[in-house]
Amino acid sequence: MKARFACVLLGCLTFVCACSTLNHVPVSAAEQRSQADATLALMMKVADWQLANPSNHHVLDWTHGALYPGYLALDGLCATTKYREAVKSVGEQQAWKNWTRLYHADDYAVSQVFSELYMLYREPKMVAPSIEQFDFILDHPATCDVGEIKHGKRGNDAAAKLSMRWWWCDALFMAPPAWAKIYDVTDDTKYLDFMIREWKATSAFLYDEDEHLFFRDKSYFPDRKKEANGQKVFWGRGNGWVLGGLVRVLQILPAHHPERRFFVRQFQEMCRKMVAIQPDDGVWRASLLDPASYPLQETSSTSFICYALAWGINQGYLSEAEALPALRKAYAALRAFVEPDGKLTHVQPIGADPQKFDVSKTEIYGVGAFLMASSEIYRLDLLKALPHAPVKVENKSAVFCREKTIELSWSDVVKKIPAATVDNLAVMDGVRARWIVSQIIVESGKPVRVLFQTDLHPEQCKTFLLVAGLDRSVLPQSARTTFARFVPERKDDFAWENDRVAFRAYGPALWVVDGEKPGRPALIGNGVDAFGKNCRQPIINRIFKEKNYHAPNLGYGIDCYKVGTGPGCGGSAVVDKGAYAQAITFESWKLLDNGPIRSRFELSYKTGETRCFEIDLGSNFYKVTSRFPQCVTPACGATYRPVSTKDVAMGEGWIADWEPAQDDLKDNFMGIAVVVPKGGLPVVVKQAAWIHAPEGQTMIAYAGSCWSGGMDYPHAEAWFRGVEDFRRQCAAEICVH
């Protein structure tokens, strides 16, 4: 009874808001916020019903290719992780492989959500099969025309049939976003070029330039088929799929790309056509130009069209005056198709007669389209209710910057949004309805900086929105984190990590060595130890609890690096007459910030030196700022054990090596690197390589590591490329305004 009453109340609210918009009655910010909250609640109800009532279709089928993007759209708006976990479990069960037909767009539609999950978790296995498959397609391109269906074998599977080109219009939702997202992951333009070329080929074949609609395939051409009223046959759901594909391609295609104008023009033409032909009840039919012959209202086509209209308004490609009334009318009808338990109805089943089907039926592609549409409508209403301001981030270099940490001063934030507080500020993606994980740095009880991360292609400019007025505790949770803590249970270590690497420094307990008198030099000084990781989750607590971290088969990490008495991975020293004086372990510590994007802490030494460490998500390097009590010649170094000259690379201000692990851990290698801005050539002294920094009281350095058994750098060449990539990203000019 309560559920039914709530649904009626929700429907009344929707009706009031929709009518207010249609009649141009002003809607208050509070009403707009309430409408946005109601949309999010409805999304969760629909998604939860679908989770509880899974489809019988294969989990890699094209139908799921539409459902999963809807789940991830909802994941980007709420704190629960169950929607992303539902999609992630499919990827894990299927080893992140697409379905059977190599060239067929339907069978790799799910690839696009695997790429989206990769952006959350950054696990290479999530995209490796798709990259391999797409590379094969590029190396063995189709030789047939778009309208020609060609069959062949995949491997030894004689039953697998290949559709070589995108000859049916809904393929433009299945395939192009998958190719665009692999470009987004890799920065390799060959995937984007292929997507653009094939889209334009399909468009030239199926797009009617007069009607601004797509034929479903060549069997629907006017010389073969006409509607009862004499009009051309344009399938509602197929054109909805195309619009969904246009949205998802435009979300990735860089703003400065020369082909973007083509996609924007087609998007605007199709959206304006949909507004012009919208039936009076707001719901587009199976046949777009002969709705009278198809009286049944249909959810999936209407949802995809709503997705496009809402996104177009949000991005400024459509004006509210031309598109908002049609959007409100259509979405009010869609809400009415949600039953009290969350089941979405009026979805034309696969293969069903579009003129007469059971309107009580649902299908997962309709649910996915509804969730995607709702996410953009949520954004539209929420931004009308809350203060917000854009932030532009521009990469002015020719370098692909992965997981770049963007820093905004708090003073700049409050200039843009005076209502912003530590508890209510959020960051939204500029091109989609998705909250970006952010972190607010507080010093002395006052906010000083806002951090968030993004990938930036060469010369790319991205827009993000700062939004005030939300409870940060209900925002989406980061799939990964940084972490740091004092470890008293292991002789006063201090340990820190991100999703790729983990380190530790040694504390005062090591001043007493094997029962000797306090104050004697320890066996280990201020050298930094490096753990190997082969997972993206935190390992510090686990590794110290299990106390067997030298074992090679833990499944998550290993301690196979020997620091010795030298600098390890990033220890510091003062240079005096050719000698390198290191501090001996830290004396005290102070934790400043603890994730998710950055963890920061200070270690202080008896010599008066203080070292401030920062580790950000997504990097194999940490940053350390050393401050000395007087002007000195400082140096940062790495323990140096390469087997041969092929296992070391160096230059002005940097050194990297590839060295075998401790003697009892054969077949394990560690990559170690140190980068000192404006530093000199490395100086090798015994088993240490030191880089002198400019004379002064402060030294900034970066130190990083990798493990051969980890996810990212299996051999020396890969590690050296990674170090060079890090150095190039450090030098990249990033403008924030």
Active site residues: 170
Question: Is 429 in contact with 422 (CB distance < 8 Å)?
Answer: no
Question: Is 300 in contact with 337 (CB distance < 8 Å)?
Answer: no
Count Cα neighbours of 34 within 13 Å in the Cβ-side half-sphere: 15
The span from the CA of 584 to the CA of 693, in Å, is: 20
Question: Is 452 in contact with 406 (CB distance < 8 Å)?
Answer: yes
- Contacts of residue 330, Cβ cutoff 8 Å, sequence gap at least 6: 278, 282, 283, 284, 302, 305, 306, 309
The span from the CA of 299 to the CA of 73, in Å, is: 18
How many helices and strands in the chain, by DSSP H and E? 17, 28
Count Cα neighbours of 151 within 13 Å in the Cβ-side half-sphere: 5
In the structure encoding, which two tokens stand for residue 394, read together?
């521009």
In the sheet that holds 569-576, the strands lie side by side as 579-581, 569-576, 634-639, 688-692, 683-685
H or E stretch at 137: helix 128-139
Question: Is 182 in contact with 130 (CB distance < 8 Å)?
Answer: yes
- Contacts of residue 95, Cβ cutoff 8 Å, sequence gap at least 6: 125, 129
The span from the CA of 347 to the CA of 61, in Å, is: 17
Q: How many CB atoms lie within 10 A of CB 436?
A: 19
In the structure encoding, which two tokens stand for residue 326, read together?
């049609």
Q: What angle do CA 587, 588, 590 make, to 5 degrees?
A: 155
In the structure encoding, which two tokens stand for residue 361, read together?
């039926």
Question: Is 100 in contact with 157 (CB distance < 8 Å)?
Answer: yes
- Contacts of residue 85, Cβ cutoff 8 Å, sequence gap at least 6: none
Smallest Cα–Cα separation from 510: which of 498, 533, 527, 535?
527
**What angle in degrees, to the nearest 10, is found between the helix axes of 189-206 and 128-139?**
60
Question: Is 401 in contact with 733 (CB distance < 8 Å)?
Answer: no
What values do phi and psi take at 479, rounded to 5? -75, -15
Residue 89 CB burial class (10 angstroms; 0-12, 13-18, ≥19): exposed
The span from the CA of 697 to the CA of 625, in Å, is: 10
Q: Is the peptide bond before 488 cis (omega within 30 degrees of 0)?
A: no
Q: Which amino acid is at 2?
A: K
Question: Is 386 in contact with 392 (CB distance < 8 Å)?
Answer: no
What values do phi and psi take at 566, rounded to 5? -95, -160
Pairing of strands 461-468, 388-395: antiparallel
What values do phi and psi take at 9, rounded to 5? -65, -45
What are all long-range contacts of 719-722, with beta carbons under 8 Å and residues at least 24 apart?
719/656, 719/658, 719/671, 719/673, 720/649, 720/656, 720/658, 722/620, 722/671
Question: Is 210 in contact with 270 (CB distance < 8 Å)?
Answer: no
How many angstroms separate the first and last alpha carbons of the chain? Answer: 52
